[in-house]
Amino acid sequence: MDDGPLMPRRRDKHPVPYDPDYKTSVSRSPRWPLLSMESTPSEETGPRFGHSLLGPLDNNLVLNYSADGSPAIGERILMHGRVLDEMGRPVPDTLIEIWQANAGGRYRHVKDGYLAPLDPNFGGCGRTLTDAQGRYQFLTIRPGAYPWPNRANDWRPMHIHVSVFGHAFGQRLITQMYFEGDPLIDRCPIAATVKDRGQLDRLVAPLDMSHARPLDFLAYKFDIVLRGRRQTMFENKPEGM
Amino acid sequence: MVQPLDELFETPSQTAGPYVHIGCIPSFAGVQGIYPQDLGTSPISEGAKGTHITVTGSIYDGTGWALRDAMFESWQSDAQGRFPGQDGADPKVNGFCRFAADGDSGEFTLRTVKPGLVPARGGGMQAPHISLWIVARGINVGLQTRIYFDDEDNAADPLLARIEQRPRRDTLIAKRDGEGQYRFDIRLQGDGETVFLDL
């Protein structure tokens, strides 16, 4: 029963678009309300990607940019979790992409001029497909915190950017994963755009020792929920509505 | 007291940030060698049926400045209105494209085929359109909008019909400015603010 409309996005469970503490949002947030309508096939279909897309190291950021097999510098971590929809059903075979700063807090991007050096063995992006149960995993290094131009002394908490497709274009989501115990989370104006504290907590991955490998890596668990689709039983709608 | 609903909410969005390119289009960002090529470089392949078109535009903030760091994704049907995977869909149309504003000019370009009429939910048809999703630094929840075309019959489109103010409706309609060429500018805020969607 996957043929109903997408469940409406709960805007109160998302960041506010306009937040003066995150200065760039001031000129980039719409002032008019969004036009709300029930989803159509344009939103209920979406691109699908297969395993032929993936290389063997795509979900291993420790090694996927290394020319000679030397690992990236930093604290080795396993990032893993499940992708579910709002009905609690796993979302299998969906593409997840991540990107992040290196252990010193520097991105491999021409616009990033932070003092911390680039790591020659760290590119900073990876991707994978969820399995039949919606599970995914990445091996990476813990990204560093870094300062950014906003208020005079703002720092981003350690975070990994996460992009998920789902099975419908209307499920498309980009978010960020934070790390349990990071004192910068509560000082971050970007994290603070999520006004519902319970929702912000869902962006903070707990340390997961049951998935850590002794003498190798720690693990953090980050589950992701995408919009669900209503079931169509008992629907009886007049044409065109 | 009542039973708890046990609702599961969608994970909250966060801004894609200024470095979205290294995650989504790393080759474009100069990060070579991780993937053979970027995802979604074209929504069509050689031999796609239909009218081949180019849509060009810029995305402006509330001050009228064109964003240099926005990233876009588009999703559309083939020329017959069929989405990839549907019976009879054109195998040369994968429907998905990722593209970015130029780092110097802010201009973006989408080369594709013009989509067909797509069914609306509950009967009727939607006018040809391309769905667009926009992320950038300063955009906290990715913005959805649509590209319609000024040389198509948009009169019966159910989404456009819901926009009461006619001038706002026009913000979703690309203007033909040459053979197979359209202009589609996006305004995040201020005069001529684009209609953004929640569907």
> Does residue B196 lie within any of the structural domains?
no
A156 catalytic, yes or no?
A: yes
pLDDT at position A4 is 87
> Does residue B183 lie within any of the structural domains?
yes
> Does residue B7 lie within any of the structural domains?
no
Per CB-CB distance under 8 Å, the chain B contacts of A129 are none
> Does residue B24 lie within any of the structural domains?
no
Q: Does residue A1 have a pLDDT over 90?
A: no
pLDDT at position A237 is 56
pLDDT at position A193 is 98
Residue B122 has its nearest CB partner, among A126, A203, A237, at A237
> Does residue B193 lie within any of the structural domains?
no
| Nearest-Cα residue of chain A relative to residue B59 | A28
Residue B96 has its nearest CB partner, among A10, A17, A47, at A47
- A154–chain B nearest CA distance, Å: 15
φ and ψ of B154, to 5 deg: -100, 5
B131 vs A107: CB contact, 8 Å cut-off? no
For position B64, which CATH number holds?
Answer: 2.60.130.10
B23 vs A13: CB contact, 8 Å cut-off? no
Domains identified in chain B, total number: 1
Higher pLDDT, B136 or B4: B136
A159 catalytic, yes or no?
A: yes
Tell me the percentage of chain A whose pLDDT exceeds 70: 95
Q: With contact defined as beta carbons under 8 Å apart, do A129 and A51 qualify?
A: yes
Best residue in A48, A60, A161, A174 for a mutation probing chain B (most B CBs within 10 Å): A174
CB proximity A227 to B under 8 Å = yes
pLDDT at position B194 is 98
> Does residue B162 lie within any of the structural domains?
yes
Q: Does residue A107 have a pLDDT over 90?
A: yes
Beta-carbon count within 10 A of B30 CB: 11
> Does residue B135 lie within any of the structural domains?
yes
CA dist A138 and A78 (Å) reads 6
pLDDT tens figures, A157-172: 999 999 999 999 999 9
Q: Does residue A235 have a pLDDT over 90?
A: no
Helix, strand or coil for residue B168? Answer: helix
Q: Which of residues 103 through 122 in chain A touch B, CB cutoff 8 A? A: 107-112
Best residue in B5, B6, B8, B10 for a mutation probing chain A (most A CBs within 10 Å): B10
CA dist B40 and B59 (Å) reads 20
Q: Does residue B175 have a pLDDT over 60?
A: yes
> Does residue B140 lie within any of the structural domains?
yes
pLDDT tens figures, B119-155: 998 789 999 999 999 999 999 999 999 999 999 999 9
A45 vs B86: CB contact, 8 Å cut-off? yes
Question: Is the CA virtual torsion A201, A207, A208, A212 positive or negative?
Answer: positive
Question: Is the CA virtual torsion B5, B6, B7, B12 positive or negative?
Answer: positive
Nearest to A225 by CA among A171, A159, A170: A171
A108 catalytic, yes or no?
A: no
pLDDT at position B92 is 98
CB proximity B45 to A under 8 Å = no
Q: Output the DSSP codes for B85-127.
A: TSTT--TTB--EEEEE--TTT-EEEEEEE----EEPTTSSEEP
pLDDT at position A240 is 46
Domain that holds residue B67: 40-187
pTM value surpassing 0.90? yes
What's the average model confidence in pLDDT over B39-68? Answer: 98
Tell me the percentage of chain B whose pLDDT exceeds 90: 96
B121 vs A36: CB contact, 8 Å cut-off? no
ipTM: 0.97
